[in-house]
Copies of this chain bind each other. A is one copy, B any other.
Amino acid sequence: MPTGDEFDLIARHFAPLANDPAARGLLDDAAFWPVDGPLVLTCDAIVEGVHFLPDDPLDQIARKAVRVNVSDLAAKGARAEGLLVCLMWPQARPARDLALFAQGLQSDLAHFAVRLLGGDTTTTPGPLSIAVTAIGRLAGPRCPARADAEPGEDLWVSGAIGDGYLGLLARRGAIAGPATALAALTQRYQAPDARAALAGLMASHAGAAMDVSDGLIADAGKIAAASGVGLRIEASRIPLSQAAIVVLGANPIPPAQLYTGGDDYELLFTAPQAARSDIIAAGASAGVELTQIGQVVVGAGVEVVGADGGPLPGLERGGFIHRFTT
């Protein structure tokens, strides 16, 4: 007997996901969670038409909402332990579609072994919007800030850069290539890997760390600015996925565009040279490739050098910025 009020919908779709006693079955007004700190907390929203496309699958949208937050915690050396999910559901979307959203949410709660603590479900006359708060605890001795880079350290990145950007182009039908490559890139755009398995490494060995969401160059610039250092990146070392390499071969896209596209959700971090073997071992243990792409230097800003040692062309735009009306 499908009805349309929020209490029924929460009871049907979300309460079964909240199996930790702290959530009180989502039947109460707040969660009561016996956790001890210190805690690492983050809150990121994704909005239809800004962070995902209106016809992206709802299970993937739910997973992206979770992952952008899990990724932030991982960069700060923390594993997510609890989530609060605030869902603003368009009046025009059928409530039955909540089932697919809840399915994606459930899948990621299991994947990251995180408890759903609570949330809110409301209607909106606007676009589908999801605000998630993620709370975790440190997986090692310290919580690396953006401001913690020191000259002499290496600069590292996890996984591969540019897949999210190419996945968005693939979703828009703007690039050609083998279907398997386009599907892999689309998947990385819709539900990016979040490097939760690297939280321990970040908390043990990273100097500065953050996740790359607005583009590698732009986000490197944030570490440089916060730390009062320069970052020197060797373009030839920036890791690309096999799918990206195939698609770059079939489309007139300069690789530099991948360094400024958003939606990577890889971890960018600095670490002492003495930690290199520990870092490689931690990456292997986590099943995530880690690549040393440059160095922290005395100075300011981000310099990307090509194979000839000169500055790389095509970097006019640093990264994605939310532009507000002034």
Contact = CB atoms under 8 A, between A and B. Distances in A.
Interface in A115-154: 117-127, 129, 131, 133, 135, 143, 145-147
A117 B123 CA distance: 27
A37 B133 CA distance: 17
A78 B31 CA distance: 11
A42 B122 contact: no
A146 B28 contact: yes
Contact of A73 (B30, B49, B98, B321): B30
Interface string A1-21: 011111101000000000000
B94 A326 contact: yes
A37 B35 contact: yes
A50 B117 CA distance: 25
A145 B73 contact: no
A128 B41 CA distance: 24
Interface string A84-107: 111011011111101000000000
Contacts of A27: 146-147, 226
Nearest to A2: B326
B41 A30 contact: yes
Contact of A47 (B32, B50, B126): B126
Tell me which of A73, A78, A123, A210 has the highest count of chain B C-beta atoms within 10 A of its own C-beta: A123
Contacts of A24: 145
A325 interface: yes
A15 to B, nearest CB: 13
Tell me which of A24, A94, A325 has the highest count of chain B C-beta atoms within 10 A of its own C-beta: A325
Nearest to A83: B43
B127 A86 contact: no
A49 B123 CA distance: 10
Contact of A75 (B29, B35, B38): B29
Given A37-B35, A129-B124, A326-B96, A211 B29 contact: yes
A6 B41 contact: no
A47 B88 contact: yes
Given A4-B324, A124-B129, A125-B126, 8 more contacts: A2-B326, A27-B226, A29-B72, A30-B40, A30-B41, A30-B72, A31-B40, A129-B129
Interface of A: 2-7, 9, 24, 27-45, 47, 49-51, 72-73, 75-76, 78, 82, 84-86, 88-89, 91-96, 98, 117-127, 129, 131, 133, 135, 143, 145-147, 210-211, 222, 226, 321-326
